[in-house]
Chain A
């Protein structure tokens, strides 16, 4: 019984000792862990975390910038599109105006041309009429002359006929005297 108790004590002490060992911090290991951790934090902070975090931040910045510029480009594109639309509209209006103007000018030119032509025609007609008048007058004068000459010739011939004998001449004189009423 006693021997059993002693055996138990030894075993108990052995295991409690081991357990204590497990939960008792070993100073040497604690010391090394602290040193290693300090050095590791320093090394990592300086040569790893700093460049890594900076790189990540820089990249995030770049991505944000890229997104912003894409947004801007989109906006600009829209503005450009609107501008184009506006310019197109203006050009269309301009074209319409030009066509209208051209039509007006054309109409005016045609009207003017017509007017000029009318005037010219009128002038020509007037001239022709004047020429005709002159020609007619000349022709009339000519006819008058010819009629006069013809009349004189006829009269000459008639006279020659009438006065070819003395009787006839006597008769004429008598007729004439008869006509003359002595008052």
Chain B
């Protein structure tokens, strides 16, 4: 049976390779579109994994289907808000939006405020704008909107589970039972072993929220057209900061003593260890931040690169290789989505557990 299956796969592969020359020749026969620029995978990938002011689904240029999102800017003259659709899908800094006597352009999803009297943005060789400033950008970007989607999903799921628990003491059924199993997983396999039976309850809201936020956001990020929220360093930085704050706020006397004046080592070594431990305190959340960001972004880049192969080689036949690989990567990403949520929560719990641990006095 298995041999039969693998045989069929081999036949399919061989056939698609045989088709390659025909497909490419068909491509060549087509009249070249003069407006068609050379495909640039880096731009495409960066566009997909980066943040944006509108939620782009498909199409390009004026025809693209994009969900407009509010742009909120804090300029020297106060707050300015308008919808991202006012840029008319322009991200090259060409289209100037006039608001409250100020001119704004969107250059590669960074919004610049043109200096008065300027018509077009100009850059120097370092890529810095010479005639425009960057206002503080608090826009509801694609990532922020995706964040809200996660929040809504979490509210729907867990308020439902909470409703069940309020009126029934029996075990839940259906999706609630799966959600409860995950809640129990966070409690019994992350919080209690790392923090301890006595103190874990205080940190459960953070651990559960961060676990499900990362996991659901990771999963939603795998959908076509979705945002790459957990693969954005600002998002993971904020999440890491929460862990850092919890460590600093909840660290007990023993923890700080072990950080700044390690007991049981020679006095001469103590200052050195204090420097190392202080660095360690900061490196922990930074490691959390980079791990989540890099893992999720890397997954997206690999999937997009595999797709790019089709356009780089300009043959649809490559799809027969790309698509199975992408499929494999996507399934792997499903695992990574859970794994990274687990690791982030696990390490947060571990660090918090270290900070609140009661040491036996030697």
Q: Which partner residue on chain A sits nearest B205 by CB separation?
A: A45
Q: Which of the residues B108, B208, B241 comes within 8 Å of A49, measured between beta carbons?
A: B208
- Of the 9-residue stretches A22-30, A86-94, A137-145, A171-179, which lies at the interface with chain B? A22-30
Asked whether any CB of chain B lies closer than 8 Å to the CB of A105, the reply is no
Q: Determine if B125 and A52 form an interchain contact, defined as CB atoms under 8 angstroms apart.
A: no
Q: Determine if B204 and A22 form an interchain contact, defined as CB atoms under 8 angstroms apart.
A: no
Q: Determine if A21 and B50 form an interchain contact, defined as CB atoms under 8 angstroms apart.
A: yes
Asked whether any CB of chain B lies closer than 8 Å to the CB of A157, the reply is no
Bound complex: CA A41 to CA B243 (Å): 13
- Of the 9-residue stretches A31-39, A69-77, A95-103, which lies at the interface with chain B? A31-39
Q: Determine if B162 and A22 form an interchain contact, defined as CB atoms under 8 angstroms apart.
A: no
Q: Which of the residues B51, B72, B184, B242 comes within 8 Å of A56, measured between beta carbons?
A: B184
- List the count of A-B residue pairs having beta carbons below 8 Å apart: 138
Residues of A within 8 A of B210 (CB): 37
Taking the closest CB of chain B, its distance from the CB of A65, in whole angstroms, is 11
Taking the closest CB of chain B, its distance from the CB of A24, in whole angstroms, is 7
Asked whether any CB of chain B lies closer than 8 Å to the CB of A58, the reply is yes
Q: Which of the residues B141, B155, B233 comes within 8 Å of A25, measured between beta carbons?
A: B233
Taking the closest CB of chain B, its distance from the CB of A8, in whole angstroms, is 12
Contact residues of B between 34 and 62, Cβ < 8 Å to A:
42-43, 46, 49-51
Q: Determine if B158 and A52 form an interchain contact, defined as CB atoms under 8 angstroms apart.
A: yes
Q: Which of the residues B155, B162, B187, B201 comes within 8 Å of A51, measured between beta carbons?
A: B162
Asked whether any CB of chain B lies closer than 8 Å to the CB of A127, the reply is no
Residues of B within 8 A of A129 (CB): none
- Of the 9-residue stretches A9-17, A109-117, A148-156, which lies at the interface with chain B? A9-17
Q: Which partner residue on chain A sits nearest B233 by CB separation?
A: A25
Q: Determine if A49 and B46 form an interchain contact, defined as CB atoms under 8 angstroms apart.
A: no
Asked whether any CB of chain A lies closer than 8 Å to the CB of B148, the reply is yes
Taking the closest CB of chain B, its distance from the CB of A87, in whole angstroms, is 40
Bound complex: CA A21 to CA B52 (Å): 12
Residues of B within 8 A of A51 (CB): 162, 165-166
Q: Determine if B234 and A30 form an interchain contact, defined as CB atoms under 8 angstroms apart.
A: yes
Residues of B within 8 A of A82 (CB): none
Taking the closest CB of chain A, its distance from the CB of B339, in whole angstroms, is 21
Q: Determine if B209 and A13 form an interchain contact, defined as CB atoms under 8 angstroms apart.
A: no
Q: Which of the residues B42, B204, B234 comes within 8 Å of A18, measured between beta carbons?
A: B42
Q: Determine if A29 and B144 form an interchain contact, defined as CB atoms under 8 angstroms apart.
A: yes
Asked whether any CB of chain B lies closer than 8 Å to the CB of A59, the reply is yes
Bound complex: CA A49 to CA B165 (Å): 10
Bound complex: CA A32 to CA B227 (Å): 15
Q: A33-B147, A44-B158, A52-B161 are in contact. Are A13 and B46 (CB under 8 A)?
A: no
Asked whether any CB of chain A lies closer than 8 Å to the CB of B328, the reply is no
Taking the closest CB of chain A, its distance from the CB of B151, in whole angstroms, is 6
Bound complex: CA A76 to CA B152 (Å): 52
Contact residues of B between 162 and 193, Cβ < 8 Å to A:
162, 164-166, 169-171, 180, 183-184, 187
Residues of B within 8 A of A58 (CB): 169
Taking the closest CB of chain B, its distance from the CB of A4, in whole angstroms, is 15
Residues of B within 8 A of A47 (CB): 159, 162
Q: Which partner residue on chain B sits nearest A26 by CB separation?
A: B234
Asked whether any CB of chain B lies closer than 8 Å to the CB of A147, the reply is no
Q: A51-B165, A53-B187 are in contact. Are A40 and B127 (CB under 8 A)?
A: no
Q: Determine if B297 and A22 form an interchain contact, defined as CB atoms under 8 angstroms apart.
A: yes
Asked whether any CB of chain A lies closer than 8 Å to the CB of B352, the reply is no
Taking the closest CB of chain A, its distance from the CB of B161, in whole angstroms, is 6
Asked whether any CB of chain B lies closer than 8 Å to the CB of A108, the reply is no
Q: Determine if A52 and B183 form an interchain contact, defined as CB atoms under 8 angstroms apart.
A: yes
Bound complex: CA A39 to CA B205 (Å): 12
Q: Which of the residues B164, B187, B242, B293 comes within 8 Å of A37, measured between beta carbons?
A: B242
Q: Which partner residue on chain B sits nearest A45 by CB separation?
A: B205
Q: Which of the residues A27, A55, A62 comes within 8 Å of B165, measured between beta carbons?
A: A55
Q: A54-B165, A58-B169 are in contact. Are A29 and B232 (CB under 8 A)?
A: yes
Q: Which partner residue on chain A sits nearest B168 by CB separation?
A: A55
Residues of B within 8 A of A59 (CB): 169-171
Residues of B within 8 A of A31 (CB): 138
Asked whether any CB of chain B lies closer than 8 Å to the CB of A43, the reply is yes
Residues of A within 8 A of B49 (CB): 22
Q: Which of the residues A14, A48, A55 comes within 8 Å of B159, measured between beta carbons?
A: A48
Q: Determine if B137 and A28 form an interchain contact, defined as CB atoms under 8 angstroms apart.
A: yes
Asked whether any CB of chain A lies closer than 8 Å to the CB of B235, the reply is yes
Bound complex: CA A158 to CA B166 (Å): 149
Bound complex: CA A24 to CA B236 (Å): 12
Q: Which partner residue on chain B sits nearest A44 by CB separation?
A: B209
Q: Which of the residues A22, A36, A44, A56 comes within 8 Å of B180, measured between beta carbons?
A: A56
Residues of A within 8 A of B51 (CB): 26, 29
Closest 9 CB pairs between A and B? A55-B165, A45-B205, A33-B238, A48-B158, A25-B234, A29-B234, A30-B234, A51-B162, A17-B127
Further pairs besides A32-B143, A52-B183: 14, Cβ < 8 Å: A13-B126, A15-B42, A26-B232, A30-B237, A32-B140, A32-B144, A33-B238, A40-B151, A41-B206, A43-B155, A44-B158, A48-B158, A48-B159, A53-B204
